[in-house]
Amino acid sequence: MMEFLHKRHARYFKFCMDSIPGEYTSLDTSRMTLLFYAVSGLDLLGQLDLVQDKQSVIEWVYRQQITSELCDGDLSRAGFRGSPANSSGAPLNQWDCSHVTMTYTALATLLVLGDDLSRVDRAALLSGLRALQLPDGSSLSSLHGGESDMRFVYCAAAVSYMLDDWSGMDREKTREYVLRSMRYDHGISQGPLLESHGGSTFCAVATLALMGELDSALTEQQRDGLVFWCLSRQGLGFNGRPNKQEDSCYTFWIGASLRLLDAYQFVRTDLLREFVYSTQDPITGGLSKWPGHGADPLHTYLGISGLSLAGQEGLKPIHAALNVSSDAVEVLRRAQARWRDLPPVKAVD
């Protein structure tokens, strides 16, 4: 079996970071998630020192925040966007609005870099979340033409959990949406009547966990069924659906679901490791979805955070519901303690 190429993966993430042109105009809206994978990946590897100018990265993230000042009275647009709308820092236009996945990954990135979140406009962000939730309990990704499914429910829950305030979400409707998305085969889909999937199962389980309702919301039968569905995903690695090829990203999606459901001890970590190691690129570093497919930042991050769940030596422990290191969660706890001494903020319509 191949060994774990710790140093090469650090170099791979460093390369991903350096190839993110911080100041250039781009409509590449996923740049924030790419930054998150690279920074948080270096953190898990214990190599955050490779980020030479953490402060400038922090400043870049804050420049993507659409605060109440920039919203011009319409807080429904508030949150983080994925990249600059323009390079000059000129005022945002009326079409500029946040994306809930970018808000989640922006906050997570700030925490990983040790920022205390003191410049986060919490009231505005919570109002932005509130504008995204639909009557059926699901959440839109973004106000303008966004999709709505379990991915964005999870991101909204992660943001609410981090901000330590649920006024931006109707938790009862959220819970009902999750429960309506549980399927006949015991897995969970992106929404009612769709196909069970490893990614949506994680998003649903983590949402319940972040709301503190994982124990109360599920019957014993539903919980056992979920554990059975997740464990049935393992060959060597995990797949995301029955009869699909194993894929390194499910090392985290399925692994974290099982950890949250208190059933990780049933995972064959020896087999899992063998599969994830086989997806490493020995030349460039990084992990691919399956052996020989070509490394990408998402699979590299999720493969490594999944190995952390499996107790991999040399990796920091991970918070299974937030998908950041326990060190980043320590930074979060300090921010939350400080907020509790301040006057409360609330989401507004």
Binding footprint of Zn ion on the chain (CB under 5 A): 247, 249, 289
SS3 219: coil
Measured from the CB atom, the residue of 60 and 250 that comes closer to Zn ion is 250
C-alpha dihedral, 317 to 321 to 323 to 328, nearest 10°: -60
Measured from the CB atom, the residue of 186 and 289 that comes closer to Zn ion is 289
Two tokens, residue 117:
């979140």
Residue 302 beta carbon to Zn ion: minimum distance, rounded to whole angstroms = 7
Two tokens, residue 70:
């920039």
Measured from the CB atom, the residue of 177 and 238 that comes closer to Zn ion is 238
Two tokens, residue 149:
């499914």
Two tokens, residue 100:
């809930």
Q: Which strand (E) or helix (H) includes residue 205? A: helix 198-210
Residue 276 beta carbon to Zn ion: minimum distance, rounded to whole angstroms = 12
Please state the separation of Cα 266 from the chain's center in Å.
Answer: 24
* Strand 139-140, strand 148-149: pairing: antiparallel
What single-letter amino acid sits at 221? Q
**Other beta carbons less than 10 A from residue 67's beta carbon:** 17
Residue 163 beta carbon to Zn ion: minimum distance, rounded to whole angstroms = 29
* Strand 148-149, strand 324-325: pairing: unpaired
Size of the chain, expressed as the number of residues it contains: 349
Measured from the CB atom, the residue of 249 and 328 that comes closer to Zn ion is 249
Measured from the CB atom, the residue of 80 and 277 that comes closer to Zn ion is 277
Residue 69 beta carbon to Zn ion: minimum distance, rounded to whole angstroms = 39
224 CB-contact burial (10 Å; exposed 0-12 / middle 13-18 / buried 19+): middle
Question: Are the CB atoms for 26 and 84 separated by under 8 Å?
Answer: yes
Residue 52 beta carbon to Zn ion: minimum distance, rounded to whole angstroms = 31
Measured from the CB atom, the residue of 289 and 316 that comes closer to Zn ion is 289
Residue 323 beta carbon to Zn ion: minimum distance, rounded to whole angstroms = 14
Q: Which residue is nearest to Zn ion (CB)?
A: 249
Q: Give me the half-sphere count of Cα atoms (radius 13 Å) on the Cβ side of residue 236.
A: 15
Measured from the CB atom, the residue of 115 and 281 that comes closer to Zn ion is 281
- Going by C-alpha positions, the residue among 214, 242, 248 that lies closest to residue 228 is 242
139 beta partners: 133, 149
Residue 342 beta carbon to Zn ion: minimum distance, rounded to whole angstroms = 41
Provide the 8-state DSSP code for 138.
Answer: -
Please state the separation of Cα 94 from the chain's center in Å.
Answer: 27
Residue 148 beta carbon to Zn ion: minimum distance, rounded to whole angstroms = 22
Measured from the CB atom, the residue of 68 and 300 that comes closer to Zn ion is 300
